[in-house]
Amino acid sequence: MYTLIRTLPLRALLVEQLPALGVSLAIAEVFYKFHSFLLESMAFLFTWYAVDGIRAWVAQTLRPDSNSAAVHKP
């Protein structure tokens, strides 16, 4: 967590990680009732990882590919 906060700029933390963190917290609060702090914490961290991975995949998919744009130029 310390490395995440130190290495990412504030804008990236607010735009990328804060929404993923919020969605993960909501999912954990509603669905995770393991009666074990350790299990719920691990499930929350995995959920955050998965949500951020999906967010990154969607962002990469929606981003125009600079290589294909260069090929189609006259």
pLDDT tens per residue, range 24-66: 999 999 999 999 999 999 999 999 999 999 999 999 999 887 6
| The 3-state secondary structure of 5-38, one letter per residue | HHHCCHHHHHHHHHHHHHHHHHHHHHHCCCCCHH
State residue 69's pLDDT score: 52
Confidence tier at 72 by pLDDT (50, 70, 90)? low
Domain ranges of the chain: 2-64
**How far apart, in Å, are the Cα atoms of 9 and each of 34, 55, 74?**
35, 18, 38
State residue 12's pLDDT score: 87
* pTM of the model as a whole: 0.77
